[in-house]
Chains A and B, each alone.
Chain A
């Protein structure tokens, strides 16, 4: 009885995960709607919100040339340099993360099954070894993609015309540095309406929370008391 418990737990977890994804609500985000929203902001001369929505659209459709072109255009028009990414980041983020995530799952399944089969069927060791290597390769690509996307969890875009960068989370003194609109920063700690950010040059400071928009919006809270 005790030996069967891990199997039952794993099966239950897999079932819950699959069902939860299969029942995703139709309402939400799509690359085209985010892209169109960004275009609207760009036309309204609000580059911060435009860049925010272009970046969000790129998370869903990283290979869409229109999104990349408009993002580049808005950044240029705002006086910001084009986004500089390393070769690894470019390669890792050029793949659709949604497809790659499921491909990683398939790779994990293939590799695991091949490793297990190698023990059960020693006569097919080479073929199973190749299958395991292929599975691990796909899994590695997915993990690299996840690694490249990890910073996005903490990125935010300056949506105010000029966000003052302060040395402390207080508004008593005038800020000598301000971040131009549409700048992408790495957001950290929060305190009393201010967010500790790191700008691309490495400089850190506190920016009013209202001047920033997180690249990944906070998940919607479930309704309490609703049916």
Chain B
């Protein structure tokens, strides 16, 4: 919707009159400041003069009069604050300054004590810091540079700014930088991408994924400022100028410049949007150039173990345990603390050592800030003590270049003592066997031993043989076999023993019958021969020896007491009866028969 031009023409003098009418009250104000942005423009552009008054009085700025410049009030804003019960008003008056000719103009301050403002007007048309495919958007206010190095776009809607702590850096050095993208509230619709570095000689590392968001007032206009943190590093020495750019979508006025006076007067995006006077347009906002001098790292004094770390670092070491056993692994940790390019902080930690078997270390970085400029890098290295005793982990060193001192530094750690106990088994006291022949530890993958050549026999199950049913059938069968064999042997022995017992019993019965017959017949020789045989059979069963081997000497050796004397007497009488023909009485036969029966009773279980 367009505002009628006659209404516009009516409002301009009204506002101007109001400003002049308020001039008498100027002396009651607390302070009056004036700024002009930009301080240098070209013909066809305009600068913006802002007069800020604060205090309890009434606003009454006076429009300056400078030959060759046209001043026009385009808007005012007023803020009222209550501080400790006092009312403080502040009023901003925005005046558009349009040159009529090129030159250097001096604009008097709003008060006699205020310093004058200088505006340089160059001839011809210049390009603003805002670029878009179609050139500068129509109807935008020209760009300006503030004292903080912020250069707004030509329409004052946005800016991109690089904030860096230093402009002289060394190759490889990381410098923490902030990239700020400011968007004037209501003028910028969106950010369409991350800030981009426009220089291939630098790298931007660890750009924070989510920017910090803050509200700032710039030139008395509210801005939303998004800040990304990152580390800037140069890849080669030289002198460079950097710019950053950010793609934005801004709202631009759709009407011709001649019809935009009301918008200038209002200066309010709400009003612009209300009247649907803007359209979105994609633009790329570029930051002012930032100069950098990149110095090469000095070659003098470069330590052998320098690996490209630039910054300020300290190191310390510790081990997972001060006591261990030979053959058991320990973990040696090297802590590198500080600030700098941690991506170049490398260390082999402990190299080959006769006391320790070492493996390739593994590094973990713990950042202390979002960009990883400060933090701690920890190298963890597995160690195995090869020999028992009190072993020392030697001091470790780490070399880096310190940009603040402009020289190489080497940090050292303290030695560590570890008490190594002998391994329980003898093999642990020996140094661990080396890697497989023809191979080395896989350093690229954290010290893994290399792969093995395939070709050995395969098994169809990982279950140990002991627990495989098919295997268990073998010892089961063997056990069954042996138990069966043992039982068979045992049975055969028992059978044999039974047969022997049966034969012996039969023999004894026959001999006893012969003894009885001999006694009845009074045949002493026959009687004692039979008794002798019966006793031999009985004793052979008792002593498990053959009957033929039982004689007087055997009885004397094995028996004691009455049994021995009775048996020995029978053996002697048998010999005597055989060779002397001695006659015995009937009562004698009974006595000797009783002795034999007594021995048989002892032999036979009850």
Which residues of A are at the interface with B, using a C-beta cutoff of 8 A? 3, 6-7, 9-14, 16-18, 20-21, 24-33, 35-36, 39, 42-43, 56, 59-60, 65-66, 69-70, 72-74, 76-77, 82, 87, 90-91, 94, 97-98, 101-102, 104-105, 108-109, 112-113, 115-116, 119-120, 142, 145-146, 149-150, 152-153, 215-217, 219-220
Contacts and interface: CB of A to CB of B under 8 A. Distances in A.
Given A36-B452, A90-B424, A6 B484 contact: yes
Interface of B: 328-329, 331, 359, 362, 380, 382, 424-425, 432-433, 435-436, 442, 445-467, 470-482, 484-486, 488-490, 493
B467 A153 contact: yes
A116 B489 contact: yes
B475 A105 contact: yes
A108 B478 contact: yes
Nearest to B473: A17
A3 B493 CA distance: 16
Contacts of A31: 452, 456
Contacts of B448: 39, 42-43, 70, 73-74
Nearest to A55: B462
Contacts of A73: 329, 359, 382, 446-448
B460 A101 contact: no
Contacts of B456: 30-32
Contacts of B489: 116, 119-120
A14 B466 contact: no
Contacts of B490: 119
20 contacts: A6-B480, A13-B476, A25-B460, A29-B460, A29-B461, A31-B452, A42-B448, A56-B462, A70-B449, A73-B359, A73-B447, A77-B446, A98-B459, A101-B464, A104-B475, A105-B475, A105-B478, A149-B466, A149-B467, A216-B463
B451 A35 contact: yes
A27 to B, nearest CB: 6
Contacts of B485: 112, 116
B465 A16 contact: no
Given A33-B454, A73-B446, A17 B471 contact: yes
B478 A109 contact: yes
A65 B456 CA distance: 17
Given A94-B425, A113-B482, A219-B461, 17 more contacts: A14-B478, A17-B473, A21-B471, A21-B474, A32-B452, A36-B454, A65-B433, A74-B448, A82-B328, A97-B465, A101-B464, A101-B465, A116-B489, A146-B466, A146-B467, A149-B466, A153-B463
B436 A66 contact: yes
B454 A32 contact: yes
B451 A26 contact: no
Which of A11, A112, A113 lies at the interface centre, i.e. has the most chain B CB atoms within 10 A of its CB?
Answer: A112
B479 to A, nearest CB: 7
- Report whether over half of chain A's contact residues are helix, strand or loop; otherwise say mixed: helix
B461 A28 contact: yes
B488 A3 contact: yes
B281 to A, nearest CB: 47
A82 B454 contact: no
A49 B474 CA distance: 34
Given A16-B473, A29-B458, A145-B466, A72 B481 contact: no
Given A56-B462, A116-B482, A119-B486, A66 B446 contact: no
Contacts of A70: 448-449
B296 to A, nearest CB: 37
Name, among B328, B467, B476, B481, the residue most crowded by chain A CB atoms within 10 Å (CB to CB).
B481
Contacts of A10: 477-478, 480-481, 484
Contacts of B432: 65, 69
Contact of A30 (B459, B475, B484): B459
A56 B461 CA distance: 11
Given A18-B474, A24-B460, A82-B329, A42 B481 contact: no
B462 A60 contact: yes
Contacts of A36: 451-452, 454
A116 to B, nearest CB: 5
A149 B465 CA distance: 10
